[in-house]
């Protein structure tokens, strides 16, 4: 029996600036487009509480968006995560007037803030995000506990308030208002307030706002890109190839039914399909081994038997062009054990074999610099250390295929929740962002 399926929320170590485009059917029947800034921030380890199915990592990028919450509106910055359900904010419950900008949300300064009673059906909604079920506190309010990445915890109440996207407001959004007693890190300038849950769960922002479709496109060249909530019928994006979302009606112990799960069919290297057993690519009878797209994870992690086949083939095809690190004591991010030494005076990487992830009806081709990631700050002699951007799930204790956002760079990714499918198309995401800027 496979162990419980888990996946990762990654903390950022790089800085990027992107563009958020919202198709604002959320607040008006007449379709309009609104542009808002989206960027990443350095978030200290342990700053963000995470659900129990999220693991701790370093050297990673998370995508954040700035919105407003409350009345009058307070600016908050939230990590976007398609692998989590409940949105939550770090809350500051002091009643004093703020003198300087505070990255925390203060419910006492919002006239539209409403805590949720523990007798409410919302409080009894089952969610995988809580290791301990929500309960009643001394004030008969819905009390929730989240785990920190450093094994400590944060507690708070479920509540509702108005979420604003530019000039469009959406009242009554349920979220977690978590206590602000977290560890700070002096080398961080993080202003991140919380997390925006975007999976298929009933409490996710996607479900609460009844969003029928959302899309995103992440550039790998200049870290620009877009996120769209709503329709994305642009002729210049190109035709999409769709892969159906896997849906099961019977609960299985290790299958996350709220995740964006697809059918994994195989892997190609340099266009040639690898010899991988079909049984290694599908969930077992417990539901463990599903394949999910997770915007809250940077890299891609494959089950051990599949990863080993890919690793061996990639190693074979780069023999003679790249020098293997050959250090059995070094594994990047716990699970990425194929690393290379690249001379610091080398202007660019050699030509690399492409890797294509094959899904039911669609493929995702990963090539060039997407395949190797330079480990920040690590030097061996006169060489940088680069690691293969696919990792071994088994080394994480994770029995799932997790497709991270690094492999999704320069792909138009459309999540169609009405037709229950994901559309993929290769795109120049930097150019897509420039074209959409002209729509404002």
Any idea which residues carry the catalytic annotation? Answer: 81, 294
Coil, strand or helix at 315: helix
Q: Which residues pair with 426 in a beta bridge?
A: 411
Helix (H) or strand (E) holding 297: none
Altogether, the residues listed in the chain come to a count of 440
Which residues in 281-312 are b (16+ Cβ under 10 Å) and which e?
bebeebbbbbbbbbbbbbbbbbbeebbebbbe
Which residues in 51-71 are b (16+ Cβ under 10 Å) and which e?
bebbbbbebbbbbbbbbbbbb
HSE-CB at 264 with a 13 A cutoff on CA atoms is 28
The tokens describing 173, both together, are: 């959004």
Residue whose structure tokens are 């997770």: 294
What are the strands, taking DSSP E only, across 361-439?
Answer: 362-366, 372-380, 383-388, 390-392, 401-403, 411-416, 421-426
- In this structure, the strands spanning 225-229 and 17-23 are parallel
């Amino acid at each position: 029996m496979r162990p419980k399926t888990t996946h990762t929320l990654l903390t950022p170590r790089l800085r990027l600036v992107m563009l958020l485009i919202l198709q604002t059917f959320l607040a008006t029947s007449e379709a309009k487009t609104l542009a808002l800034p989206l960027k990443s921030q350095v978030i200290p380890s342990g700053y963000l509480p995470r659900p129990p199915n999220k693991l701790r990592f370093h050297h990673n990028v998370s995508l954040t968006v700035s919105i407003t919450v409350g009345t009058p509106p307070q600016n908050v910055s939230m990590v976007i995560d398609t692998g989590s359900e409940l949105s939550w904010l770090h809350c500051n419950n002091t009643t004093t007037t703020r003198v300087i900008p505070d990255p925390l949300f203060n419910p006492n300064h919002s006239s539209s803030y409403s805590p949720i009673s523990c007798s409410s059906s919302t409080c009894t909604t089952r969610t995988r995000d809580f290791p301990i079920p929500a309960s009643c506190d001394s004030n008969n309010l819905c009390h929730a506990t989240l785990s920190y990445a450093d094994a400590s915890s944060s507690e708070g109440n479920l509540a509702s308030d108005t979420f604003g996207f530019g000039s469009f407001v959406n009242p009554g959004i349920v979220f977690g208002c978590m206590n602000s007693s977290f560890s700070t890190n002096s080398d961080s300038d993080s202003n991140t307030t919380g997390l925006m849950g975007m999976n298929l769960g009933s409490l996710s922002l996607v479900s609460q706002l009844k969003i029928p479709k959302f899309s995103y496109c992440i550039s790998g060249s200049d870290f620009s890109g877009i996120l769209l909530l709503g329709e994305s019928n642009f002729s210049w994006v190109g035709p999409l190839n769709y892969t159906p979302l896997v849906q099961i009606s019977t609960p299985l112990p290790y299958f996350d039914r709220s995740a964006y799960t697809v059918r994994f069919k195989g892997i190609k290297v340099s266009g040639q399909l690898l010899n991988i057993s079909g049984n290694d690519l599908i969930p077992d009878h417990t539901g463990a081994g599903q394949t999910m797209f997770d915007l809250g994870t940077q890299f891609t992690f494959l089950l051990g038997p599949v990863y080993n086949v890919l690793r061996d083939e990639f190693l074979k095809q780069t023999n003679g062009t790249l020098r293997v690190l050959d250090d059995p004591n070094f594994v990047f991010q716990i699970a990425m054990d194929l690393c290379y030494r690249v001379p610091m005076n080398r202007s660019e990487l050699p030509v690399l074999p492409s890797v294509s992830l094959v899904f039911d009806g669609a493929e995702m081709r990963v090539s060039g610099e997407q395949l190797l990631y330079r480990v920040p700050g690590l030097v061996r002699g006169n060489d940088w250390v680069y690691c293969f951007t696919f990792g071994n799930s088994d080394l994480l204790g994770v029995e799932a295929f997790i497709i991270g956002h690094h492999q999704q760079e320069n792909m138009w990714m459309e999540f169609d929740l009405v037709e229950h499918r994901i559309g993929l198309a290769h795109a120049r995401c930097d150019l897509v962002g420039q074209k959409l800027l002209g729509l404002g």
